Chains A and B, each alone.
Chain A
Amino acid sequence: QKEVEQDPGPLSVPEGAIVSLNCTYSNSAFQYFMWYRQYSRKGPELLMYTYSSGNKEDGRFTAQVDKSSKYISLFIRDSQPSDSATYLCAMSASGNTDKLIFGTGTRLQVFP
């Protein structure tokens, strides 16, 4: 079993829908949680990050962390075709190490 599990999708939604992307993890030491977005034939780019539990909002994006359930989510409101990409979650146990453990990514398609 992998340390970080992520549904590969694909997830197909109409423009304007609310999208929920999720990851589960097994290592209770994880404290830093990130979401990356990867467009086709591009490198991943950091979208959002959170430390420990709680919510963080940035425009149309909201990241949630539930450490008790070992579950993190990324919500996208008013989804746009430009949001079509693969979304990867990533986690780290400590700020003293740069090592990230990535999920395999969820492919999202937003159709007009």
Chain B
Amino acid sequence: DARVTQTPRDKVTEMGQEVTMRCQPILGHNTVFWYRQTMMQGLELLAYFRNRAPLDDSGMPKDRFSAEMPDATLATLKIQPSEPRDSAVYFCASGQGVYTQYFGPGTRLTVL
């Protein structure tokens, strides 16, 4: 049963610290997405990649967020420096088209 995996599942950090979240997409999927979910805003697309190339990162605060795919089995989302307003659940999803986005379990980030 192929699944998207994310680490860590929970992260508590202090304001100003660097946070790195990792995602392993489903093998064979060519598109990877990073979303952020909050009660107020719901699910927001931060960035996505196709065949490891960044296609759209317009939803991401450029000054502190960065997303990369160093290889086909790993996607990373980094926040530096982190701020309390970054507290949210971050989801990675992978797929091969508009109907086939499979979500990971998420990383619950709390910035104190």
Binding site for B on A (CB under 8 A): 32, 34, 41-46, 49, 88, 92, 94-95, 97-100, 102-105
Contacts and interface: CB of A to CB of B under 8 A. Distances in A.
Task: Report, as a range, how many residues of chain B touch the other chain.
Answer: 20 to 34
A45 B103 contact: yes
B91 A100 contact: no
Main DSSP-derived SS at the B contact region: strand
A104 B42 contact: yes
B93 interface: yes
A49, A88, A102, most chain B CB atoms within 10 A: A102
A98 B48 contact: yes
A40 to B, nearest CB: 11
B59 to A, nearest CB: 9
Contacts of B100: 46
A109 B67 CA distance: 36
22 contacts: A32-B98, A32-B99, A41-B105, A41-B106, A42-B105, A43-B93, A43-B105, A45-B103, A46-B101, A49-B99, A88-B42, A88-B43, A92-B98, A95-B98, A98-B48, A98-B97, A99-B56, A100-B101, A102-B43, A102-B44, A104-B43, A105-B43
A46 B98 CA distance: 11
B99 A102 contact: no
A95 B103 contact: no
